[in-house]
Structure 1
């Protein structure tokens, strides 16, 4: 097959095509790709920047993904969503992250502060379960101290306005990153200074030089939590995300050279450059599409958090209605003017039912539904005849 990028329109004479483009991002459950040769490696790499920005920063994707899943490919299993959490039945803060609705604390030490901001009293060490620790609390604390002190002292500061953290200081680590949990009112320089002081206390543990009043115990965190996180995202990236997936789905449904036709040049340029992308996307679905959504999910027995792209004609334009996580993020994407037949697109679209490991064209889902109904009908007829 002759390779030609559906976005840049470059062919194999001036672009490489070693990777295949996922129709729906794998990080949110996508399983299938466009045929290799339809999206160049350069475009694939460039698009991954705004794609990952949305997946890891836009609340309408971040929150359902963290609660419902999926975790995605390993290199996308990041810990950038580490945040401050408090238990539903306690005001004790801790650093951790959520995956599929379950809280996971990171390795951390929690200290109390007096009115002047000095570290006082005992401090506690929280160690994740199943991390290979023993029942020897002192040995566990020393092992924790060795690990956290081996990391470069560059903190990623996590702030929270909640009063639970007002007299607390938390230093933790996940992978090779140090995290510092503080109240929002604490200046950056002051927070870093206090974080380093707490690490100095841990260093004294290794030399058996820590005063008993500062020595604490280990805790394994199991309770339910409330997480606090501030999101910063770019709407143009969200628009490009929705539009790119709609265009990927169109390329899969067409499955021929029509995807390269001139009527799609405007939208392919907007996706590629981000310029005027807002002219193609509306983040609120029309009322008639909203009414169709529950019926489609129920009729096809889809997972409640599936993703899909549905194509329709509105006046003289081809419009794609996209939905992620069962409507957490919805948009209408105006793809272009209709200049020829749209028979292939009528009642068609693309569905990713990641909860049931199913993905494909809407027409395929409909055909399987009809086949299933006919099979059940024949079975019922045979039973009646018997």
Structure 2
């Protein structure tokens, strides 16, 4: 066995299989076992999270799906990262988005003169007691996420909990003014009075959310990895292991050669032929030769596009373009010819 990324490096294991596109984006097609090592999979996992939860496409995923491991079930819907939002009453809240709907997490806000508590609707009817119990579990060594937002008043600090993570949010100018453990301890000392007060909110309100999205080298490396996965699937393992791909491999694994491969996304061209015939929100990538360069084009959600020159050849090794299409809404994947045949209604006759 050899890994298309790490080659014959010692100590590699092959217990898992690799999806062509990430499963979190809805792809069902997997590469044969033994083509991508477990060690490569472990490297890719945090980069995949950056792509699907913090890059520009994370908004599309939170709006449309798919959810966990590509599931279309509402209970497994993809969620955005928690961020600071402003509700219809003008209060700052901690929220996330799932399938286009904002949800508040359980949190409290300490202002200049009072506390305000907001409880997650999904945790009802015991949201208050659950929240207090979770806060009591916070200790000196507990990890947490820090958020800053100019929407928060300099006199306010928000502390919340969602899916195993604690959060503290404040105005950027107050970076060294708040400590989450102290805030939680003080809140708990007043918790009985706060929970019985009128400033406790249990209903879900409309929220304007301010996502902090960014494109990073890790996003671009993940896109190149998807393109190399699709290359090996469409053209074979022997082709993808050719030394002409060594530089893009080094980019994917180590971040080398960024001047050649680091790419920002752009909106897909409306005149793009493949874009016109594939399902509206599908993912796809296509390949072809431009003179002696083997070039891959990756499109996610039918909108964001990356164009990456994957390898340079002295003699063009292929002459026909090819593509891989992930129709995640219908849970189907295609090679280009298979999709064209189905698109034209000819698949049953072949």
What SS does structure 2 have at the residue aligned with 1:371?
Answer: coil
1:317 correspondence with 2:309: no
**1:249 Cα deviation from its structure 2 partner:** 0.5
1:21 correspondence with 2:18: yes
Between the aligned partners of 2:28 and 2:107, the Cα distance in structure 1 is: 36
State the match for 1:290 in structure 2.
269
Between the aligned partners of 1:143 and 1:374, the Cα distance in structure 2 is: 55
1:126 correspondence with 2:118: yes
Residues 211, 341 of structure 1: alpha-carbon distance in 2 compared, 3 angstrom cutoff: closer
Q: TM-score, normalised by structure 2?
A: 0.84
Over residues 103-161 of structure 1, what are the superposed CA-to-partner deviations in whole Å (9 max), with x where a residue is unaligned? 121112334324xxxxx3xx443222242416xxxxx6445423432333655332221
What SS does structure 2 have at the residue aligned with 1:290?
Answer: coil
Contact 1:318–1:335 (8 Å) recurs in 2: yes
1:102 correspondence with 2:101: yes
**1:282 Cα deviation from its structure 2 partner:** 4.1
Q: Superposition RMSD on alpha carbons, in Å?
A: 3.2
* Structure with the larger helix share: 1
1:61-140 matched pairs, under 5 angstroms = 61-73=57-69, 81-87=81-87, 89-114=88-113, 120=114, 123-133=115-125
1:42 correspondence with 2:34: no
What SS does structure 1 have at the residue aligned with 2:284?
Answer: strand
1:251-262 matched pairs, under 5 angstroms = 251-262=232-243
Q: TM-score, normalised by structure 1?
A: 0.77
Contact 2:5–2:40 (8 Å) recurs in 1: yes
Between the aligned partners of 2:314 and 2:222, the Cα distance in structure 1 is: 23
2:158 counterpart (135, 154, 170): 170
State the match for 2:334 in structure 1.
360
Over residues 274-318 of structure 1, what are the superposed CA-to-partner deviations in whole Å (9 max), with x where a residue is unaligned? 210331354367x9x72443x423323x1x222111112211211
1:264 counterpart (204, 229, 245): 245
State the match for 2:188 in structure 1.
199
What SS does structure 2 have at the residue aligned with 1:6?
Answer: coil
> What is the aligned length?
342
**Of the two, which has the highest radius of gyration?**
1
**1:361 Cα deviation from its structure 2 partner:** 1.3
1:239 correspondence with 2:220: yes
* Structure 1 unaligned spans of 5+: 115-119, 135-139, 376-386
Over residues 190-238 of structure 1, what are the superposed CA-to-partner deviations in whole Å (9 max), with x where a residue is unaligned? 3544454223211xx2xxxx489x7235433433321124346532x22
Contact 1:280–1:335 (8 Å) recurs in 2: no
State the match for 2:73 in structure 1.
none
State the match for 2:343 in structure 1.
369
